[in-house]
Structure 1
Amino acid sequence: MLRLDEVHISLIELTTREERTIRRQGMTNEEPHERLVISLSQSRLYGATFLRGFKVMPTLMSALIERWRPETHTFHLPCGEVTITLEDAAYQLDVPINGMPLVFCNTYKVNVLISNLLGKDAPTDVIDGLRVRMTWLEREFRVAEQSTEQEVIYAARAYLLTLIGGILLPDKSGNLVHTQYLPIMEDFAVCRQYSCGSTILAFCIVNYVRRP
């Protein structure tokens, strides 16, 4: 256990300041433009935008890591065993937990998908397989007062994509998000019918138990 390891990296964390603001490399801390709010609300993911910048306590994280048991997917605490549930995903992330399961098909051509749903052709240097750089999405899809309604829709899809890749379902790259999530945003009214919370919870559990 960590408390028996004198050279564990957590000792460094324990001597640093208590709180840190966590921000993914490709995710902005800026509030979404007011013209995006309608589309984001229709998708049922607007509540998750308030997680753009959030604070964590390294000491608490270290304690939870020590108490996690991958065999049972639970934290062993003095009060008993606890785990992360769908209810937690709903309360903490404000995402839907009821509805259709998210099933992805990766047989598409990424350039065609981006052009059709985002209205722009992505340069080759921002594409990595089926992933796209979030910094490009953030830079290219800005909303202004003179933006057309279609441009606002494109920007809303790009914003949701960075939200997914930056906070909800991030990978180790820190600046890439999979384009497989784009098709569910084609219609925001349909997007709200998916159980995003169950996908996030499964993603969380898998990454907890994954070995290096």
Structure 2
Amino acid sequence: MIERWRPETHTFHLRTGETTITLQDVEVIYGLHIDGQALYRVEPPQLSYPQELTRLTDFVPHQRDMHGRSRLLRSFLHAHLRLVHLQHPIGEATPQVDVDRRAYLYLLIIFGGIMFPNTSGADMSMRYLLFIEDLDQLGCYSWGAAILAYIYRGFDRASMGERLEVAAFSPLLQVETFQPIAAHPSDDYVAEDMPYARRWSQGRTRGFHMDAV
């Protein structure tokens, strides 16, 4: 894929023609917003990133589990969440502040480890804490546009020899090349306005099969 990517046009040059991922693909396949406030590189907070993480989540990372000043080992955070879930599972009596703290940690994994990963695959950036601190404002950002720009940047740098690997939201690349086809077209349990990725995941559990486009 890297060899067939052209950074001048942000497209793949294949034998069958020229193709790319568009904003419409991001919105239709994963239901991510492509309008709203732009995400931008912000200045570091007054507190260090580990201190900011502790302030929001009451979770104290160790120095040995840090890479630089803003990256945290994914395995360490996963282990912490598993332990917390076993010792203090969320229930109806769980205080809202504890629910929010757990949500911040899961969101950090989603944004830093899945939607905006890095080429190491071992750690994640804590910079996204500055965008997820206000949970009510999460839907105001253009996450879809940011993911697409991140994918373009990853393939650009790899195709120009600046990187050996591409760090991108790989599920989008995988789903983009397939289309869910219902085994029983008369079934109406898939909502028409549901993002394709959700239709795919539901369909696979109910007898869908995949045909390459």
TM-score normalized with structure 1 length: 0.63
Are the counterparts in 1 of residues 72 and 126 from structure 2 also a CA contact under 8 Å?
A: yes
Which digits, 9 at most, give the CA deviation of each residue in 1:72-103, with x for residues without a partner? Answer: 21122455422211111122333211100012
Structure-1 separation of matches of 2:6 and 2:25: 19
The answer to whether residue 110 in structure 2 is matched with residue 163 in structure 1 is yes
Helix, strand or coil at the partner of 1:180 = coil
Root-mean-square deviation (Å): 1.9
Equivalent in the alignment of 1:117: 56
Q: In 2, are the aligned partners of 1:89 and 1:197 still within 8 Å (CA)?
A: yes
Matches within 5 A, 1:68-83: 68-83=5-20
Q: Are the aligned partners of 1:96 and 1:196 in contact in 2 as well (CA < 8 Å)?
A: yes
Secondary structure, aligned partner of 1:159: helix
Bigger shift: 121-130 or 199-208? Answer: 121-130
Q: Secondary structure at the match of 1:164?
A: helix
Aligned pairs for 1:64-143 within 5 A: 64-108=1-45, 109-128=48-67, 129-141=69-81, 142-143=84-85
% identity of equivalent residues? 32
Change (3 A) 1:145 1:71: closer
Distance 1:174 1:167 in 2: 10
Indicate the residue corresponding to 2:90 in structure 1.
Answer: 145
- Give 1:119's aligned amino acid: D
Paired position in structure 1 for 2:123: 176
Q: Is the 8 Å Cα contact of residues 138 and 158 (structure 1) preserved in structure 2? A: no
Extract unaligned runs of 5+ from structure 2: 164-213
Gaps of 5+ in 1: 1-63
